[in-house]
């Protein structure tokens, strides 16, 4: 049973919640004009939700659309020494955010096909969380059993499967796993056991071949593997974006609706006037678009959300590891940002089928 503590940070008006009115004329694409195909477009994102509770600003991640004008996200940890995090559901129409405290630190949460519950990777367990009655029902509790000091981190839903990774809590040792929960036979398969902080996962299909986009953050590389779900195997890694010279590290990522680009949030632990979430071409590695988050350098995760008939990019940012003097220089750290896009759909954001457990 999870804690029955429920935070409701709802307020009547979005503006009172520090949520930028998305209908205001000021919400515009402030991109640089594209003179050539190789010029990088820059877009300024706007903070739309700043939690009043500092616990929710510490490490927001994993925004995920739940139909038009609504999304879920996770607060991975409620503070540097906290042992819990939360599942959050934000309504763009009202500006309300409802926060449900979980029985540990979540790495991911995705809505299920019953319309009510969520599949969550929490600490070292996979389970189903029911916000309505605040219950937690684990269905697999043996993640990373061969090592200590790791917890579940980023993941994705693909058909009736989960693909997810773990992270070393000290961010040092390559001992974290990359896993497939295969829904066809309800089995857990370890694909790798040598990551440090497994992040940024997406699926790309090219003809009959399926590829896993994957990030082990300290490597500063975005790679792809051929993946065979039926066999439970990965092929050799191919580097698609090399960020080893970058001051930040790649964190959460998605692929664009056409499957041709990756959008990745850059977690920059250094003082900076803004953070960046970037779009790279998967074939060439070319940087095509940068979304900037003013006064918040630590971007954690992106996703596409439909609201008011348009597709927007949502970017989560974090306060994590910032001493007070740095927080003063980054007053929007921990805020959630939104920015315009030219996409016409949010792409594939599947529901998790409960029949696969």
> Where residue 18 sits, what CATH number does that domain have?
2.120.10.30
Task: Note whether residue 341 is domain-resident.
Answer: yes
Task: Note whether residue 65 is domain-resident.
Answer: yes
CA atoms in the 13 A half-sphere facing the CB of 304: 21
Task: Note whether residue 29 is domain-resident.
Answer: yes
Read off the tokens for 342: 């030219």
Task: Note whether residue 1 is domain-resident.
Answer: no
Task: Note whether residue 284 is domain-resident.
Answer: yes
Measured distance CA(296)–CA(301) in Å, rounded = 13
Model pLDDT, residue 19:
42
Q: Assess contact for 318 and 298: CB atoms under 8 A.
A: yes
Domain range enclosing 189: 6-356
Measured distance CA(351)–CA(315) in Å, rounded = 21
- From first to last of its 357 residues, what are the pLDDT tens digits of the chain? 333 334 444 433 343 333 444 443 334 444 444 434 569 999 999 999 999 999 999 999 999 999 999 999 999 999 999 999 999 999 999 999 999 999 999 999 999 999 999 999 999 999 999 999 999 999 999 999 999 999 999 999 999 999 999 999 999 999 999 999 999 999 999 999 999 999 999 999 999 999 999 999 999 999 999 999 999 999 999 999 999 999 999 999 999 999 999 999 999 999 999 999 999 999 999 999 999 999 999 999 999 999 999 999 999 999 999 999 999 999 999 999 999 999 999 999 999 999 999
Task: Note whether residue 138 is domain-resident.
Answer: yes
Read off the tokens for 39: 């010029």
pTM for the full predicted model: 0.92
3-state helix, strand, coil in the chain (%, to 5): 5, 50, 45
Nearest 10 degrees: Cα torsion 164, 170, 173, 176: -20
Model pLDDT, residue 319:
99
Q: Which of 166, 183, 164 is nearest to 175 (CA)?
A: 166
Task: Note whether residue 234 is domain-resident.
Answer: yes
Task: Note whether residue 232 is domain-resident.
Answer: yes
**Helical (H) or strand (E) element with 129:** strand 125-130
The sign of the CA dihedral 44, 60, 99, 112 is positive
Please, which residues have CB within 8 angstroms of residue 324's CB and are 6 or more apart in sequence? none
CA of residue 116 relative to chain centroid, distance: 20
Residue 33: DSSP 8-state? P
Q: What's the number of domains the chain is made of? A: 1
């Amino acid at each position: 049973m999870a804690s029955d503590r429920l935070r409701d940070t709802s307020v009547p008006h979005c503006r009172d919640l520090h949520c930028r009115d998305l209908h205001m004329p000021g919400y515009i694409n402030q991109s640089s004009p594209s003179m050539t195909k190789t010029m990088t477009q820059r877009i300024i994102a706007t903070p739309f939700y700043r939690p009043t509770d500092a616990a929710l600003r510490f490490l927001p991640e994993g925004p995920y659309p739940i139909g038009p004008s609504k999304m879920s996200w996770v607060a991975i940890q409620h503070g540097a020494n906290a042992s819990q995090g939360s599942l959050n559901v934000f309504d763009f129409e009202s500006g309300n955010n409802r926060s449900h405290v979980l029985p540990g630190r979540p790495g991911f949460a995705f809505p299920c096909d019953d319309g009510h519950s969520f599949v969550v990777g929490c600490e070292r367990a996979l389970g189903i969380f029911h916000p309505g009655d605040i219950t937690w029902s684990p269905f697999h509790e043996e993640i990373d059993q061969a090592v200590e000091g790791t917890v579940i981190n980023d993941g994705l839903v693909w058909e009736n499967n989960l693909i997810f990774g773990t992270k070393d809590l000290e961010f040092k040792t390559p001992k974290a796993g990359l896993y497939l929960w295969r829904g066809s036979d309800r089995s857990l398969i370890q694909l790798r056991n040598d990551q440090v902080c497994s992040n940024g996962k997406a699926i790309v299909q090219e003809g009959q071949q399926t590829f896993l986009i994957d990030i082990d953050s300290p490597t500063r590389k975005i790679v792809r593997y051929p993946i065979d779900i039926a066999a439970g195997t990965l092929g050799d890694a191919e580097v698609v974006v090399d960020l080893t010279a970058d001051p930040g590290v790649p964190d959460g990522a998605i692929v664009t609706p056409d499957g041709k680009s990756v959008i990745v949030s850059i977690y920059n632990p250094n003082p900076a006037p803004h953070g960046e979430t970037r779009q790279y071409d998967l074939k060439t590695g070319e940087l095509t678009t940068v979304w900037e988050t003013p006064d918040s350098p630590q971007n954690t995760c992106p996703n596409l959300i439909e609201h008011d008939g348009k597709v927007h990019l949502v970017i989560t940012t974090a306060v994590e590891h910032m001493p007070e003097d740095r927080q003063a220089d980054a007053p929007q750290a921990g805020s959630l940002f939104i920015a315009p896009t030219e996409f016409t759909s949010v792409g594939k954001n599947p529901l998790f089928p409960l029949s696969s457990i």
